[in-house]
Amino acid sequence: MDILPNLLMPLTHLDLLALIAAGTFAGIYVGAIPGLSVTMAVSILISFTFSWDVYPALALMIGIYMGGVYGGSRTAILLNIPGAPSAIATALDGFPLAQKGRAGEAIGIVTVVSFIGGFIGIFALAGLAPVLSDFALRFQPRDFMLLAIMGILLVGSLSGGSLTKGVFAGALGIGIGAVGMDPLTVQDRFVFGLDELRGGISFVAVMIGMFGVSEALMQLHNVHTPAVRQKIDGIVPSWAKVRKHLPLGLQSSAIGTVVGALPGTGGDIASLMAYDQAKRVTRNPETPFGEGAVEGLVAPEAANNAAVGGAFIPMMTLGIPGDAVTAIMIGALFIHGLNPGPMLMIEQPNMFWFIVGSLALANCFMLLFGLTGIRLFVKVVELPRTILLPVILVLSIVGAYAINNSLTDVYWMLGFGVLGYFMRLYGYPLAPVILGVILSRLLDDNWRRAIISTREDFGAMLMGIFTSPLSLTLLLAVVMILVTNSPWWARWRGR
């Protein structure tokens, strides 16, 4: 297999090049505008691009993903409103810097370290994924099952709220994914006599509802928040400044890549961990953390962009999403008839190298668009939400309808939008629902394979887990997540 032609494919095909550029450009704005999120944009986009060839569809989505993760930092710095969850830590020092009239400097350094972090993550993906996929071939069905459970629990526990609510959300997602005819026995599951449910619930409708509609409904609570104007100049940072922060940037990128590669985590957790680490290792910052420390910008931004490449590692090697956006990407690959996992890496390595090339190109476009066009950017960000939110809703409805040209999907979208709205209000994380929907089939298939291979003997399956070092490690990880999130653990730690 020739790696280079596939790696350079996005560069040699003008249409793909243009789509990555357009995606990155749009992603920066999507990530930056409060109320719009990358997850929302990619889930709406799937419904419009599913009739496309897989390469252009992926090119556009990768551009939006890369641009969006970076774009979230813009409003975090300018308005103290993180455009994306991965930019929460950026606001802590970014906004104080902007208040001191140094918004341009903050945006400049963030752009450069995001670019560096992005490339570290991509290098890790290119270097580690082929090795990991070879290793993943040794996975037994029970290992895939445990890995899926671990991913859902991790995202549930790290979403900030209660683990019980995270577990409920994950189980709900698996249940939604099971609706329809069982693919093995053609038996109805959760159909309630409705023919519309036999084909299952479109996960795109669930995603648009949960991430698009529910987010728009939440934004209605503060629709009249006035836009804050900032003066921005001198964006391109000096080489001396970049060199000064390079060691911290590289360290944070490594954190971002590792955390991003854990199934179910993502840029938001990576950036918070990198910020925390930066606080510990920076002995004498010019400005204290929380008051405008440049180190407080470098660490989270290098980490969250490195996490993009990292999140693709479990997605490509195991078929387990690294975060909510890669969960949606897995959905997109399914729609295009591809099955992410070790076999995809072996049977279609061209797809893998195309993704690596597209990510690298999107990262370059991010640097280019990040350091230019700031005037236009400020204008777009000031777009009132009273106009923006109805437009998002129209796009969500059109997106849901376009999946199957069916109004049923629009009603599902609305139903899940309302459910997602209440779940958000009462502290239930939504990412485990989506992860559950995506991983439902994998979990179900592998559970049945595992139990059939032991002739329905649950004890024998447990013995298999305890005697295999890999299965045992995964089981221990699942137990650890549950134990460390329990109230008993908190009480024990508090003593």
Partner 1 sequence: MDPKPTRRPGELAFTIFLAAASLGLLWSAYGIAGFEALSSPGAVPMATTAIMVVSALVVLFETLRRPAGRIQTLRRDILPPAVIVTIAMIALYALLLRPLGFIPTSLLFLTAMIWFLSRRGLLFCLGVAFGTVLLIWLIFRMVFSVLMPPGIVPEGRIVAFLMSLF
- Residues in contact with partner 1 by CB under 8 A are 48-49, 51, 162, 164-165, 167-168, 171-172, 174-175, 178, 182, 184-185, 187-190, 192, 213, 216-217, 220-221, 223, 384-387, 389-391, 393-395, 397-398, 401-402, 405, 407, 410-411, 414, 417-418, 421-422, 425-426, 440, 443-444, 447-448, 451-452, 456, 458
The CB-of-476 to partner 1 minimum distance in angstroms stands at 20
213/313 with CB nearer partner 1: 213
| Residue with tokens 């749009």, as numbered in its chain | 26
The CB-of-463 to partner 1 minimum distance in angstroms stands at 15
451/478 with CB nearer partner 1: 451
The CB-of-131 to partner 1 minimum distance in angstroms stands at 32
> Taking Cα atoms as reference points, which of 404, 395, 403, 433 lies closest to residue 416?
433
* C-alpha span between 218 and 208 (Å, rounded): 14
Which 3 state secondary structure label does DSSP give 160?
coil
Helices 267-281 and 239-261, interaxial angle, to 10°? Answer: 130
Backbone angles phi, psi at 467, to 5 degrees: -95, -10
Structure tokens at 251: 């360290």
The CB-of-311 to partner 1 minimum distance in angstroms stands at 25
Instruction: State the Cα angle at 294 between 290 and 297, rounded to 5°.
Output: 75
* C-alpha span between 29 and 65 (Å, rounded): 11
The CB-of-32 to partner 1 minimum distance in angstroms stands at 19
Structure tokens at 124: 């890790």
* C-alpha span between 147 and 70 (Å, rounded): 29
184/240 with CB nearer partner 1: 184
DSSP 7-46: HSHHHH-HHHHHHHHHHHHHHHHHHHSTT--HHHHHHHHH
The CB-of-76 to partner 1 minimum distance in angstroms stands at 25
223/490 with CB nearer partner 1: 223
55/352 with CB nearer partner 1: 55
13/441 with CB nearer partner 1: 441
137/391 with CB nearer partner 1: 391
The CB-of-151 to partner 1 minimum distance in angstroms stands at 15
